[in-house]
Amino acid sequence: MDVVSNIIQMQELAGKLKSEGKTIGLVPTMGYLHRGHLSLAARARQENDIVVMSNFVNPLQFGPQEDFAAYPRDLERDNKLAESAGADYVFAPQGEEMYPQGYGAYVQVRGEAAEKMCGRSRPGHFLGVTTVVLKLLIITQPNRAYFGQKDAQQAIIVRKMVEDLDLPLEIVTCPIVREGDGLALSSRNTYLSPQEREHALALPKALGAGRALILQGERNPSRVREEMRRVLESSPGIRVDYVEVVDGKTLQELPVLQGYVLLAAAVFVGKTRLIDNIDLEVAPCTAAC
């Protein structure tokens, strides 16, 4: 496996691989890899000739009061994990390589999907996401790019950007990877104390409670949201950011739950903000509902 830090070198390498008829799968990451990232690389390995993992902590998607400086970084560790997962190249640029002095080009996806949930809680976050993802797509020239379902809103927004800009690639969303007790894997889990780690289990518990209510026949999104919020607000150490029950493809509000539905929530556990979601296909309500 080779590590590339220069944009022009990565572009030339990707162009050469494409000219040879090779397909490229890109796994964009901010490093501090865990089994969730490695599952994306494994999927990319199955579906492409070449796998590129990017490793770049993107300052544009952090707000002024957020954890950019404290975000965990360990490139040597990450490179070993990336190689073990089958990556052929790691693209790991420095900040000044991606955003040199005088940088001023940004890309924004507008609309409801980008303005609610994390878009409302973290103003400017998705502007940073779409800008860096577009740059990574231009640099690495992938046939497919792989994103985790845990960041469902991000994947929806990136897919919209790719469609609207007629970019010739496929966005692939892969399932959430969880710990044995249900907590979704996240690089930010490293911030949690042992007690906070226990408190964080309220997040998958709340999502599971919402799912159970739907499976019992509930089709009113407000009641499902209320149940999820009740579980979170009754749990110690949890501060709720948002709870949503929406269309899983567009993030639009649903008057009645049916079709592809996303249950999503964000909470603070101490100072750490965690997100999680569950998606499911919901049958139309019948007389039995």
Catalytic residue set: 37
Give the long-range contacts of residues 66-71, CB within 8 A, separation 24 or more: 66/122, 67/188, 67/191, 70/191, 71/30, 71/32, 71/187
Kind plus residue range of the DSSP H or E element containing 244 = strand 238-247
Q: Would you call 45 exposed, middle or buried from its count of C-beta atoms within 10 A (0-12, 13-18, 19+)?
A: middle
Cα(52)–Cα(44) distance, rounded to whole angstroms? Answer: 9
Cα(253)–Cα(47) distance, rounded to whole angstroms? Answer: 34
Cα(141)–Cα(131) distance, rounded to whole angstroms? Answer: 15
Q: Would you call 24 exposed, middle or buried from its count of C-beta atoms within 10 A (0-12, 13-18, 19+)?
A: buried
Cα(10)–Cα(62) distance, rounded to whole angstroms? Answer: 25
Cα(46)–Cα(105) distance, rounded to whole angstroms? Answer: 34
Which residues lie closer than 8 Å to 167 by C-beta, 6 or more apart?
137, 161
Which residues lie closer than 8 Å to 8 by C-beta, 6 or more apart?
none
Give residue 247's identity as a one-letter amino acid code. D
Cα atoms found within 13 Å of the Cα of residue 220, Cβ hemisphere only? 5
Q: Tokens 């005088």 label which residue?
A: 102
